[in-house]
Amino acid sequence: MSNAPVIVLASASPRRKELLALAGLKFTVDAGDYEEDLSLDLKPHDLAKFLSREKARAVSHKYQNALIIAADTFIVFRNELLGKPHTAREASRMLTLLSGKSHVVITGYTVLDTGSRRSISRSVETKVWFKRLSRDEILAYVKTGEPLDKAGAYAIQGKGALIVKKIEGDYCNVIGLPLAALAETLRRCGVNLL
């Protein structure tokens, strides 16, 4: 068992870290310095997989016998990709766009085995419906600070749960890591979570 690969989460996201810990996985975190670019000319699912693969590759050279897990999450609304807002104004714009409508959350993830150089990339989609939000509700939510640095300007596992009407698909995917799909991929790499 001593030559079992180290598991590395290539993400600075505290949400992804919490989800992996909940699954009972022992891992270390190495966020790397890859800057995702949502403007690349790829279809959304291809883009999500590409970005996760590049995040995994960015840290892979540091490890000889490791499974690197990387992910990228964004929102697609009417063919527009919504990443993380960095200002209150951007967050308000996104929430106004999504109010009363549905959007899709896409997470691409990659598991890269540095020993064999084999990697598996997948993407998972979840549909989310927002309730209709008043201007005051949007401003109050933005004021909490929670929408900043979250794809689509909300956290479904936080106060954002108050604005989500329903979802169709994997709840964990909306948080940023589709655990059920990832567990299946890890199983194919010799790591069983159950």
Is the pLDDT confidence value at 102 over 80? Answer: yes
Is the pLDDT confidence value at 3 over 80? Answer: no
- State how far the Cα of 69 lies from the Cα of 51, in Å rounded to an integer: 12
Which carries the bigger pLDDT value, residue 119 or residue 35?
Answer: 119
- 72 an active-site residue? yes
Q: Domains plus CATH for the chain?
A: 6-188 (3.90.950.10)
Among 33, 72, 149, 170, the active-site one is: 72
- State how far the Cα of 176 lies from the Cα of 23, in Å rounded to an integer: 14
Of the chain, the percentage scoring pLDDT greater than 70 comes to: 99
The string of pLDDT tens digits covering residues 153-179 is 999 999 999 999 999 999 999 999 999
Residue range 61-77: average pLDDT? 96
Is the pLDDT confidence value at 30 over 80? Answer: yes
Per-residue pLDDT, 36: 84
pTM above 0.75, yes or no: yes
Is the pLDDT confidence value at 2 over 70? Answer: no
Per-residue pLDDT, 1: 41
